[in-house]
Amino acid sequence: MPRLNFANILLPEGWSRNVTVEIDAGGMIEDVKPDMTISAFDGRVAVPGMANLHSHAFQRAMAGFGEWRGAASDDSFWTWRDVMYRFLERLDPGHVQAIASQLYIEMIEAGFTAVGEFHYLHHQPDGTPYDNFAEMAERIFSASQTTGIGLTLLPVYYDYGGFGAAPVGGAQKRFANDPERFLRLRDDCRALVRDCPRTVVGAAPHSLRAVTPDSLAQMVSECTGGPLHIHVAEQVREVDECRAALGTTPVDWLLEHHQLDESWCLIHATHMTDHETARLAASGAVAGLCPITEANLGDGIFNGVSFHEAGGHFGIGSDSNVRIDVAEELRSLEYSQRLRDRARNRISASGSANGRSLHDAAARGGARALAQPMGRIAPGHWCDLVSLNENHPSLAGKSNDDWLNSWIFSGDKNCVDDVWISGRHIVRGGQHVAREASANEFRKTMDALRA
């Protein structure tokens, strides 16, 4: 039985020393044995791998392109979206695979060991499907296989261009499917990954503006047995348009018309009333927070303190992939609460370590959102482990919860030393085993897109 030995490791019951982790043939943890006599260690400080619950892989290649001030005084998410639409018109399947492979390597090196790919780039630029209807999804899956990251593939149902069943236009044609075509795509994705236990297939109605109440109800009834993710309440304009079209706000409408539970993940949920916050927390659904992207796009501040105090579940995602860093996502979430409240250590219980609280909560919520047994170093879970470099200046002289406090609040992805996914040693000394080859392909892709 393969085994790994760690001098210090974060188990569900707390920090433990001299621990052996035994792994079965499929990459799951078989047993965890503390207080062993160990002569050599695979890592000095080990924590569970983190789930990245929300990613649009292709957007990694446009990071930086949206940082030009437009002529309009209201430069916003909506003007950024126009830049994104123009960019994706040039992408072909080969580009998408090269971009996703580079992105997933960066995620793994940062400590993410599984990703929820909210995948809506389905068709050719004019909306014509590829001969292989799931061509683009297959490229995402291939990138996950090449890099080793766990994958929850979330094919997106996108049927309309806005509230009121507005027709799709322009770049949106690449996203669009009617319910019948979407269900075909979902089935093709399931067939594609049938023999890969580390890949889960769910479904993602893009947003309430991209579906109708009837088509959403049909999709939800057909897509059982897997996670459901949806963009919701990211922008004030979106909330106002939803209120005008459906008579209430997006989160309230979902709570009234669907049985939200732990299979649902509401991405962003930024603009909620106190009543919506409490109800969403009680539902068991996960709030999918993307703090770096939400700050980059000027979305607003999630009601994190109230949601946490109400027992809500949350996880983190890198969304637009402008930056890939576990510590920075958690730090950005906490700092947004501090800036709003003009107070410190907001998303943690009295007397607890803030970094540890954030990490534990995001690991639990992310695992739930991806429907993957991960986020805990315990039997029956994937052997996803992240080893921190205790000699990094941010971690030197620290121990136990202060390792996490220091990684999250004074460190970055450079604190990550080694990573194992499903028991495979994929990152050594901070570098993914396929980093160089992937970077070369990514550079070629970017040169081709620039030409």
- What does the alpha-carbon distance between residue 6 and residue 46 come to, in Å, rounded to a whole number? 7
Those residues whose C-beta lies under 8 Å from the C-beta of residue 199, and which sit 6 or more positions away, are 141, 144, 150, 151, 152, 153, 193
- What does the alpha-carbon distance between residue 277 and residue 103 come to, in Å, rounded to a whole number? 32
- What does the alpha-carbon distance between residue 306 and residue 347 come to, in Å, rounded to a whole number? 9
- Is 268 annotated in the active site? yes
Q: Across the beta sheet with 3-11, what order do the strands follow?
A: 29-33, 14-23, 3-11, 43-48, 385-388, 416-421, 424-428, 431-432
- What does the alpha-carbon distance between residue 139 and residue 94 come to, in Å, rounded to a whole number? 8
- What does the alpha-carbon distance between residue 399 and residue 8 come to, in Å, rounded to a whole number? 9
What is the end-to-end Cα distance of the chain in Å, rounded?
A: 51
**Nearest alpha carbon to residue 354 among 373, 379, 335:** 335
3-state SS of 361-404 is HHHHHHHHHHCCCCCCCCCCCECCEEEECCCCCCCCCCCCHHHH
Query: Within the chain, how many helices (H) and strands (E) appear?
Result: 14, 17
Which member of 319, 360, 384, 418 is catalytic? 319
Which member of 119, 206, 268, 381 is catalytic? 268
CB 285 within 8 A of CB 230: no
- Is 447 annotated in the active site? no
* Active-site amino acid positions: 268, 319
